[in-house]
């Protein structure tokens, strides 16, 4: 097999990144873009972990028809059944069951014997087999488990019907050579391995996730699990764009292909960064802002003469725009819709109307509207879809010799208008205090960042806040040409996510349900 299956887990492992919390609509937007990107499998979530995740996986299963839609499940009968409910309407459903396999996890966390784990693994795969054919199994923490025990588990689950077996380096502990040896030894020591696809899932704790994944591919793995921009639990996962571009650029060395349309990489990266609220570091390989910028005179000279002198990839092959397209207040609805489609957004007619209205309002204040402005507007639109409280009005009075005072009006879920006012150390503090007086949910502000989306005095200001409640972090973002309004929107966005999580009684993303 000379094709590597690209399994994207941005919406599942990526969503386990601290501070990540997407609503179902945002997840659907990303899933649609992953479809355009050409990924083979989308791991859309962990349906049994919360009603919100269940609904998002179900929605994606109904709407995104080309790729396989996978739901993660703990090795528990109830979880397997619930995962099936979430993915059953997909054109190509998959259930991915995981259970720890290392002695460290077995003795300290699960307090179970190897035999018990082996039996449960087999039984849960057999349980899923009652529903569907496409089943993946992961022995968690495989790289710290005894290889002979991993061979035993893999043989048993393949026998029970697993069609993909995935080897997770759960804590990012392994090294390329060691991991490659493990993959090769699995191919030799598991007698029925030819009946399943061998997959890998690497974490980046030592910065080796991509290197480990590529080594595993060299040694025979044919599915790789990865995320856009490398987001994920702790230090993240193997980055999809780096793996795909390594396979493409070094085709001479790997001799393998993927189904990825690489010209969609840049758009996908921007969309994920925008909706997750995680900026991409400038020196990030492939998609960082500096990845194709040449600073030294010698390099600039070379690139002007012949790009190949200092560029091993063509930025166009990643979809990096060569010029910034600008819209203005004269641009019509059609041009706006076209640009949205090019940026990877598909909006319902109603959402498009609202976004176009916001675009026109912005165009009245700002001469040129760039892609970054449009991304910001749409992200704002998607954020408002699942609001619990809506920010209706915000007004501040502040200055050199006055006490910063804010008045805010919110609309609650019952449609009532609630207003309050507060003093603060500054205008943003006053606004947040006034909001807290109305919403009344304890939380601690742990991060507040303002940045301008583009250059110029008329630029949109984007505010990112992180708040903490009961040990869980919630991120909120808001955008406006007025940074006080943007700050209020960002805080409301974080509070709405907190309220939604409390309503769905969502456990901490890290508290998997082991049984």
Binding partner of residue 98 among ligand KIV, Zn ion, none, CB cut-off 5 to 8 Å per kind? ligand KIV
- Binding at 161: pick from ligand KIV, Zn ion, none (beta carbon under 5-8 Å per type): none
**242 vs 326: CA distance, rounded Å:** 29
Q: How far apart are CA 207 and CA 226, in angstroms?
A: 14
CA 87 from centroid of its chain's CA atoms? 19
HSE (side-chain half, CA atoms, 13 Å) at 290: 7
Residue 140 interacts with, from Zn ion, ligand KIV, none (CB under 5-8 Å by kind):
ligand KIV
> And the tokens for 55?
């609904």
Q: Are 320 and 267 in contact (CB under 8 A)?
A: no
Quick one: CA torsion of 317, 320, 321, 323, rounded to 10 degrees? -110
Given the complex with Zn ion, which of 8 and 13 has the nearer CB atom? 13
**Residues 408, 422: Cα–Cα separation, whole Å:** 9
> Computed over its alpha carbons, how large is the radius of gyration of the chain?
24
Compare residues 172 and 427 and give the one whose CB is closer to ligand KIV: 172
Q: Kindly state the number of chain residues that form the binding site for Zn ion, as judged by CB under 5 A.
A: 1
Q: With b meaning 16 or more CB within 10 Å and e meaning fewer, what string describes 210-245?
A: bbbbbbbbbbebbbbbbbbbbbbbeebbbbbbbbbb
Residue 434's binding partner out of Zn ion, ligand KIV, none, with CB under 5 to 8 Å set by partner kind: none
Q: Which stretch binds Zn ion (CB under 5 A): 6-14, 61-69, 318-326, 418-426?
A: 6-14
Binding partner of residue 105 among ligand KIV, Zn ion, none, CB under 5 to 8 Å per kind? Answer: none
Kindly state the tokens that stand for 215: 């080594």
Residue nearest to Zn ion (CB): 13
Q: Which does 214 bind (CB under 5 to 8 A by kind): Zn ion, ligand KIV, none?
A: none
CB of 203 vs Zn ion, minimal distance in Å: 6
| Number of other residues whose CB lies within 10 A of the CB of residue 506 | 17
Q: What does the DSSP assignment read for 274-298? A: HHHT-PPPTT-TTTSTTTT---SHH
Smallest gap from Cβ 308 to ligand KIV, in A, equals 38
**Residue 112 touches which of Zn ion, ligand KIV, none (Cβ within 5-8 Å per kind):** none
Choose between 93 and 168: whose C-beta lies nearer to ligand KIV: 168
Q: Which is nearer to ligand KIV, 189 or 513 (CB)?
A: 513
Taking the least distance from each CB to Zn ion, the nearer of 13 and 26 is 13
Q: How many CB atoms lie within 10 A of CB 21?
A: 24
Give least dist CB 94 to ligand KIV, A.
Answer: 13
Min. distance of Cβ 233 from ligand KIV in angstroms? 6
Cβ 221 to ligand KIV, closest distance in Å? 14
Ramachandran sector of residue 376 (left: φ over 0; alpha: ψ -120 to 50; beta: rest): alpha
Q: Which is nearer to ligand KIV, 109 or 386 (CB)?
A: 109
Cβ atoms of residues 211 and 246 within 8 Å: no
Instruction: Compute the least distance from the CB of residue 136 to ligand KIV, in Å.
Output: 9
Residue 233 in 3-state DSSP? coil
Q: Which partner from the list Zn ion, ligand KIV, none does 138 bind, CB cut-off 5 to 8 Å by kind?
A: ligand KIV
- Residue 179: Cβ-neighbour burial (10 angstroms; 0-12, 13-18, 19+): buried
* Residue 136 binds to Zn ion (criterion: CB under 5 A): no
Least spacing, CB of residue 216 vs ligand KIV, in Å: 14
CB of 138 to ligand KIV, least distance (A): 4
Is residue 469 helix, strand or coil?
strand
Name the β-bridge partners of 476: 465
Site string for Zn ion, 216-255 (x = CB under 5 A): ----------------------------------------
Least separation in angstroms between residue 168's CB and Zn ion is 6
| Cα first-last separation, the chain | 36
State which of residues 13, 35, 40, 375 lies at the interface with Zn ion (CB under 5 A): 13
Instruction: Name the residues that contact ligand KIV, by CB under 6 A.
Output: 13, 72, 98, 138, 140, 168, 170, 201, 203
Which is nearer to ligand KIV, 140 or 343 (by Cβ)?
Answer: 140
Binding interface with Zn ion (CB under 5 A): 13
């Amino acid at each position: 097999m000379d094709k590597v299956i690209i399994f994207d887990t941005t919406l599942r492992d990526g969503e386990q990144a601290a501070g990540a919390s997407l609503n179902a609509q945002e997840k659907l937007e990303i899933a649609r873009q992953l479809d355009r990107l050409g990924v083979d499998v989308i791991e859309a979530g962990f349906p049994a972990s919360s009603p919100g995740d269940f609904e998002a996986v179900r929605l994606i299963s109904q709407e995104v028809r080309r790729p396989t839609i996978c739901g993660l499940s703990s090795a528990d009968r109830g979880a397997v059944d619930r995962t099936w409910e979430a993915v059953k309407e997909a054109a190509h459903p998959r259930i991915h069951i995981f259970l720890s396999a290392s002695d460290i996890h077995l003795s300290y966390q699960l307090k179970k014997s190897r035999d018990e784990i082996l039996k449960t693994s087999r039984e849960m795969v057999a349980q899923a087999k009652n529903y569907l054919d496409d089943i993946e199994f992961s022995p968690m923490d495989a790289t710290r488990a005894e290889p002979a025990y991993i061979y035993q588990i893999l043989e048993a689950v393949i026998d029970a019907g697993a069609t993909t077996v995935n080897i997770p380096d759960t804590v990012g502990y392994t090294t390329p050579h060691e991991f490659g040896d493990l993959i090769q030894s699995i191919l030799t020591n598991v007698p029925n391995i030819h009946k399943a696809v061998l997959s890998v899932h690497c974490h980046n704790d030592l910065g080796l996730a991509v290197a480990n994944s590529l080594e595993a591919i060299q040694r025979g793995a044919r599915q790789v699990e990865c995320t856009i921009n490398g987001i994920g639990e702790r230090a993240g996962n193997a980055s999809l764009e780096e793996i795909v571009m390594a396979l493409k650029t070094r085709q001479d060395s790997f001799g393998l292909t993927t189904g990825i349309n690489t010209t969609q990489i840049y758009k996908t990266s921007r969309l994920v960064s925008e909706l997750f609220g995680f900026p991409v570091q400038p020196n990030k390989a492939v998609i960082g802002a500096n990845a194709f910028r040449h600073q030294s005179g010698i390099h600039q000279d070379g690139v002007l003469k012949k790009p190949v002198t200092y560029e091993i990839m063509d930025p166009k092959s990643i979809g990096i725009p060569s010029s910034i397209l600008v819209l203005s207040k004269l641009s019509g609805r059609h041009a706006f819709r076209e640009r949205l489609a090019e940026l990877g957004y598909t909006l319902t007619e109603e959402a498009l109307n609202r976004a176009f209205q916001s675009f026109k309002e912005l165009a009245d204040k700002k001469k040129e509207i760039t892609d970054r402005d449009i991304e910001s507007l749409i992200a704002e639109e998607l954020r408002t879809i699942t609001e619990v409280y809506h920010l209706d009005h915000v007004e501040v009075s502040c200055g050199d010799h006055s006490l910063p005072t804010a008045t805010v009006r919110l609309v609650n879920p019952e449609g009532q208008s609630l207003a309050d006012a507060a003093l603060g150390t500054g205008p943003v503090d006053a606004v947040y205090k006034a909001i807290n007086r109305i919403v009344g949910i304890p939380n601690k502000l742990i991060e507040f960042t303002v940045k301008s989306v583009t250059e110029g005095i008329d630029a949109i200001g984007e505010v990112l806040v992180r708040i903490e409640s009961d040990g869980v972090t919630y991120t909120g973002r808001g955008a406006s040409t007025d940074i006080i309004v943007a700050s209020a929107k960002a805080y409301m966005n974080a509070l709405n996510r907190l309220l939604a999580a409390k309503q769905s009684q969502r456990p901490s993303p890290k508290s998997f349900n082991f049984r």
